[in-house]
Amino acid sequence: MTESRTIVFFPEGAYGPTNNCVAIGQVLRECGHRVVFVIEESFVGSLEEQGFEERLMRLGPPPEQAEEPGQFWKDFIRETAPVFRKPTIEQLTEFIAPTFEALCDGARYVDERLGEIFEEVQPDVIVEDNVVSFPAILTSGRPWVRIVSCNPLEVKDTGIAPVFSGYANDDRAAWDTFGAEYLRATAELHGSFSAVCEERGAPRLPTGDFVHESDFLNLYLYPAEIDYARARPLAPTWHRIDTCVRDVTGSFVMPDELVDGAGGLVYLSLGSLGSADVELMRRLVDVLGRSPHRFIVSKGPQHTEFELADNMWGAEYLPQPSILPHVDLVITHAGNNTTTECFHHGLPMIALPLFWDQYDNAQRVHETGHGLRLPTYSFADEELLGAVEQMLADTATRERMHAVAARVQADPGRVRAASLIERVARGGQPITR
């Protein structure tokens, strides 16, 4: 039997990064390793239920009332939602910079607690999936791994569109203007947070970035078919993982309401945060309720605030990996996990992006011919209904997606990621391509 190692995962306090780390952690646990998750207190018990150890932390002072999992970000998104109707360049000042500020505040607040956890757990490797640095990881004296489970535009390059823009990759006209505005909007925060990193023993931040690159191993999550052609190759410690889909317990049983219905079967999910926009969810239900097709709807945290149409079935939260193999099409916010899961299962998409890297994923899916991007708040009723008909009838796209699914399922990304992380845990040395 191979000697067990202790592997700590520290994902951002949202479902996407957490589920990505769970997928890899499941493989490592099956290999006999001790897997510990560092999670926000609002997630307490959720990882233990899946067989992992938990260590709890906070990214801010405790609230007066009990929190739901990821409540901090649900509240933040709800308060900021009106900004999502604006062009992405305007969102830089009104959403992107405030989001980074909240993340940096959390990193400052939790740094001492992280150091305590690492000293207690004694990990052989620390795996983090965040978009800002945590100095305690870099100063722990332990090997660490960075995972990018957002769109890989996060790792900047002059040959690809600017991150958060949603701009076409073959039209550079507005790239420089957007890039300059990003640097202007984040300059003050970047300088102050970089100083915090240095004060606590970590290196200065790279220009324009809020997170460091690992000297040991860096992983990014994106299928080869939609990956970007860079002007400069990534450092040798970077490895691409096509998809990273976790195992879920139990199989999905098709609801009686949908079994005998006519037409295609479509899955609608705007993620745990996007679905909190009740007005948008109500409009989608109203429009899609006129479609001859059937819909499975992930209703999200505001599930009691709207009713589904007769051609729909749904619930607050759904086991997405179990549902996707049964459907023909996905209508999505284009979060990175949902996007890559659609490729894993060979499903075309209709993308309705809301914030962060969702615009970039939506644009990439659209421009590579794997789905359609629609304007989330200004689409015409017939535009959405027509997109559903178009994608369900598009056999060529479906066949290409099935070919991608066959390829990535034959070489599971979560297994490859686990193997690379295990090598770091055992040898404590950089893992290069």
Report the pLDDT averaged over residues 302-329. 88
- Average pLDDT on 270-297 reads 90
Topology of domain 6-245+412-427, CATH: Rossmann fold (3.40.50)
Fill in the DSSP letter of residue 203.
P
Kindly tell me if the per-residue pLDDT of 100 is higher than 90.
Answer: yes
Per residue in 287-301, pLDDT (tens digit) is 999 999 999 999 887
- Looking at this protein, which amino acid is placed at residue 231? A
Mean pLDDT (the chain) is: 92
Q: Which of 37, 23, 47 is nearest to 413 (CA)?
A: 23
Q: Higher confidence at residue 273 or residue 253? A: 253
CATH topology match: 6-245+412-427 vs 256-410: yes
Structure confidence at residue 303 as a pLDDT band (50, 70, 90): confident
Task: Report yes or no on whether pTM surpasses 0.85.
Answer: yes
Q: Which residue has the higher pLDDT, 271 or 348?
A: 348
d(CA 10, CA 36): 9
Burial of 403 per CB tally in 10 Å (0-12, 13-18, 19+): exposed
54-76: b or e for each residue (b if 16 or more CB lie within 10 Å)? Answer: bbebbbeeeeeeebebbbbbbeb
Residue predicted with more confidence, 307 or 71: 307
Long-range (24+ apart) CB contacts under 8 A made by 231-234 are: 231/157, 231/158, 231/159, 231/160, 232/157, 232/158, 232/159, 234/155
* Interval 361-417: pLDDT, tens: 999 999 999 999 999 999 999 999 999 999 999 999 999 999 999 999 999 999 999
The confidence band for 72, taking pLDDT boundaries of 50, 70 and 90, is low
C-alpha–C-alpha distance, residues 390 and 10, integer Å? 41
Report percent pLDDT > 90 for the chain: 77
pLDDT score of 70 more than 60: no
CATH 3.40.50.2000 corresponds to the domain 256-410: yes
**pLDDT band at 1; cut points 50, 70, 90:** very low
Question: In the chain, what are the domain boundaries?
Answer: 6-245+412-427, 256-410
Lowest-pLDDT range of 33-37, 52-56, 85-89, 244-248? 244-248
Q: What pLDDT shows up at residue 130?
A: 95
